[in-house]
Structure formats: C-alpha cells, structure tokens
Amino acid sequence: MTELKLPSSIHLGFLTVFPEGAGFLGGYLVTNSWGRPVEFRLSTAVQPNKVQQILYGHTLTEYLCAELIGKTLVEKTATPVQLLVTDNLSVLPIRTRLDIPTILVRSEDGVSESGLDVPMIRLDHQRSSLPLWWREDHRADDELIRAILDRVDPALELTEPFTRIREAMTEARKMGATSRAA
C-alpha cells in the first residue's frame, strides 16, 4: 500500500472496539468521503475465560481488539477502504495485520496516559478536532494518509462517526442484534 494512486471515490473505515461487561464488542462503519454510510458491521461480545486471560496475559486486549474483532470486522466487510480510523489505541496494531493505513483519533492526554512505549507520530489536521496518531514504525504511511485526508470532504469530522457507531450499537443491543450476529 505504498502507491499514492487512489481510486476516484475513496472509502473510510471507522473501527471501534470497547469493553462490554467482562468482554469486548466491536463496530465498523464504512463511509464514503462525505461520511455517508455505505456498510456497517458489528461483532458479538467476546468474553475471554480465565485460562485465555492467563495465556494471553498483557497481549490479550491487543489480540482481542486488533486481531480477533478488528481484523475480522474489516475482512468480513465487502467494501474495501483506503484508510482505517479508530478511537481505540489497542486497535492500532491492526496495521501489522492488514495492508491498510490506520490512524488513531485521540487527545494527547488519552495517548500519553495509556503508558504506551511505542513511538507515535502526531498529525493535527482540519478534518479532526482531535490529533491523529499512528505508529512510528509505519512512517511509510505518512504521505498516503495525508493524501487520503485531503480527499475527505470538509463536512466530515473524523471523530463524529464514532458517535454514530455507538448509537447504532446501542440500538442493536436494544433489538438483540448483537446476540444473533453471525
């Protein structure tokens, strides 16, 4: 994914995974460059048992967020995206598993308080009210990320779709959709 040739219409993937009871729940919204919904996918809640917690240890959250839930959601979605946006630091390592530039939208405090020891690149951009971050070891994505962000319509604010995803997941919970995801 190093070529700068982008398709005529780009799609963005907004991926979030958050704690749900004792487990984790994921939601993934694909939009066009104006933020209009194209596809939406959600996961069932994943609740690791004691043995899994012991086995995975401190890598459990990253495994659940990036590999198990995040990667599955992206791979099962039909519409390919040019940029993944997440609001969860633990999802960011998905970049090592997928060939899609991935950025985190998060306040500086949110990143520094996470105690993450991986060097990060920060970008303040007009399309986001919060700073954008990605890992230093993916510096090669810089140019592509900036090119894609320039294609995003000014009407779209990158933090806003996560509000929609959460509302949709609340609705899904009310209607029992998360328990019958298949």
Partner 1 sequence: MPREDSPSTLRLLDVDDSTGDDTPTTVVAGESFPFLMNPEAVEVLPLNFDVSLAVGGLPKFECSLSPNTREARLLNDSPWVRGLGSLEMRVQTEGWKFPTPPIDLPPRPVLDKKPAEELIPTDEVVPDLPDPVPVPPKKPPVRSKPAGDTVLFKDRLLYLLQPPIDHLIGCKSVGVPFEPFPYQLEGIAFLMPRHSALLADEMGLGKTAQVILAIRLLIQAGMVRKVLIVCPKPLVYNWVRELKLWASDLPNEIFAGDTELRRATWFVSNCPVKITNYELLTRDAEFLSDDRASFDLVVLDEAQRIKNHDSRTAQIVRSIKRSRSWAMSGTPIENRPEDLINIFGFVDPGRVPRDTPSKRIPQLTADCILRRTKDDVQSDMPPKFLRDLPLELTPPQREAYDLAEKEGVIRLNDLGETISVQHVFQLVMRLKQICNFDPVTGSSVKMEQLLADMEEVAANGRKAIVFSQWVEPLEVLAKALAPYGPMQFHGKIPSPQRPAIIDQFKSDPTKHVILMSYGTGSVGLNLQFTNYVFLFDRWWNPAIEDQAINRAHRVGQKHPVTVTRFLAENTIEGRIADVLNAKRKIFNDLLEQNGPPPSLGLSEDEIFGLFDIKARPKKNGDSEAKAA
Kind plus residue range of the DSSP H or E element containing 172: helix 160-174
Asked if 42 contacts 169 with a C-beta cutoff of 8 angstroms, the reply is yes
Q: How far is CA 138 from each of CA 9, 135, 145, rounded to the nearest angstrom?
A: 24, 5, 11
Q: Which long-range contacts (CB under 8 A, 24 or more apart) does 1-10 make?
A: 1/99, 1/100, 1/101, 1/141, 1/144, 2/140, 2/144, 4/143, 4/144, 4/147, 6/82, 6/147, 6/148, 6/151, 7/82, 9/33, 10/82, 10/83, 10/148, 10/151, 10/152
Out of 2, 3, 5, 8, the only residue in the binding site for partner 1 (CB under 8 A) is 8
Q: Within positions 82 to 121, which residues make up the interface with partner 1, using CB under 8 A?
A: 111, 119-121
Q: Is 128 in the site for partner 1 (CB under 8 A)?
A: no
Please say which residue, 22 or 55, places its beta carbon nearer to partner 1.
Answer: 55
Cβ at position 3, least distance to partner 1 in Å: 19
Q: Is 40 in the site for partner 1 (CB under 8 A)?
A: yes
Q: Is 148 in the site for partner 1 (CB under 8 A)?
A: no
Cβ at position 41, least distance to partner 1 in Å: 4
Q: Is 130 in the site for partner 1 (CB under 8 A)?
A: no
Q: Is 20 in the site for partner 1 (CB under 8 A)?
A: no
Number of residues in contact with partner 1 under rule CB under 8 A: 65
Interface with partner 1 (CB under 8 A): 8-9, 26, 29, 31-44, 46, 48-49, 51-52, 55, 63-64, 68-69, 72-73, 76-79, 111, 119-126, 142, 150-157, 160-161, 164-165, 167-168, 171-172, 175, 177, 180-182
